Amino acid sequence: MPELPEVETTLRGIAPFVEHQKIVDLTVRQPRLRWPVTENIQDIVRGQNIRQLTRRAKYILLGLDKGSILIHLGMSGSLRIVEPSEDWRKHDHIEMQLNNNQALRYHDPRRFGCWLWSHTEHAQLSHLGPEPLSNEFDGDRLYSASRSRKMAVKPFIMTNSVVVGVGNIYATEALFRSGIRPDRAACKISKKRYDVLAKNIKGVLAAAIHQGGTTLRDFVNSDGQPGYFQQSLDAYGRAGKPCKLCKTSLKELRLGQRSSVFCPKCQT
DNA sequence: ACACTAACCTGCAAGC
DNA sequence: TGCTTGCAGGTTAGTG
């Protein structure tokens, strides 16, 4: 589910129910996530107000009176608002009860996500590159960061110290839109082409956010609605199908253990 | 500094 | 039908 647009969609969906509420209690049924859930987190956060929800990369931050909770959805996590009486489903690991008589429920079959409280800045956020939708991120940035990089451009743009929030789906789509082969060496791409690529990374992420994210398998956002970006995917998941521009059969290769689909004619 | 692998987990689909 | 294998949206710790 969650790449940046899905995280942003989730954040926007839950924020109206969560912001400015007081945490009545927190229930942790399964503390073994990517990292163990912060010890005694219930005692720390009980009675605190949630001042604001923000996003950094694919992390959601709940800013409390004292410190903050860092949430990541990993590869299979989701957050939704539930009524307090709602039955627990398999893989519902955490519930935060709020004083508006609703609760925030965390569901994560693969348990690659996290729930961490910290009084100071979270270590996970300290070495992150720029947000892709910010003005800090542009073709200049990609060009200068790539000069010493022999690695393929696709894993390069998925590297968090270069730019955050570009996962496998949107990396695949941005490269298709830019006409750049995913296995081209990052250091051999011109400034001009990086300008195009940076614009397309922004464009594809913004479009996906606008459409409520991409629905893969069973992803629904916090309102229970699917994302509609899937129908806009040009390359991801379309190996063997005709290119939407030139009808050539799309090819697939693996880069850094990730499937990468591209058009051998349009992408050079 | 960079590049690559393995690891954390479960569920599902394809193949035998 | 049932078992095995491989793959899936992410990130980082460790190795060379």
Q: Please write the tens of the pLDDT for every residue from A179-230.
A: 999 999 999 999 999 999 999 999 999 999 988 877 655 455 555 555 778 8
Is A238 among the residues known to form the active site? Answer: no
For A2-6, A213-217, A250-254, which range has the lowest pLDDT when averaged over its residues? A213-217
Per-residue b or e along A11-44, where b marks 16 or more CB atoms closer than 10 Å to that residue's CB:
bbbbbeebeebebeebebeeeebbeebbeebbeb
As its CATH architecture, domain A4-125 has Alpha-Beta Barrel (3.20)
Which nucleotide does the CA of A187 lie closest to, via C1'?
A: B2
* All CATH 1.10.8.50 domain ranges in chain A, comma separated: 139-262
- Tell me what the pLDDT averaged over chain A comes to: 93
Which nucleotide does the CA of A168 lie closest to, via C1'?
A: C9
Backbone angles phi, psi at A262, to 5 degrees: -155, 165
Check whether A132 has a pLDDT greater than 70. Answer: yes
The angle that helices A191-210 and A168-178 make with each other, rounded to 10 degrees, is 130
Cα–Cα distance for residue pair A171/A154, rounded to 1 Å: 6
What pLDDT, on the 0 to 100 scale, is given for residue A42?
97
Amino acid identity of residue A238, one-letter, is: R
Residue whose C-alpha is closest to residue A221's, from A4, A20, A14, A53: A14
* All CATH 3.20.190.10 domain ranges in chain A, comma separated: 4-125
Residue nearest to nucleotide B2 (CA to C1'): A149
Is A2 among the residues known to form the active site? Answer: yes
Assign a CATH topology to domain A139-262.
Answer: Helicase, Ruva Protein; domain 3 (1.10.8)
Separation of A257 CA and B6 C1' (Å)? 11
Per-residue model confidence as pLDDT tens digits over A60-88? 999 999 999 999 999 999 999 999 889 99
Is A56 among the residues known to form the active site? Answer: no
What pLDDT, on the 0 to 100 scale, is given for residue A216?
54
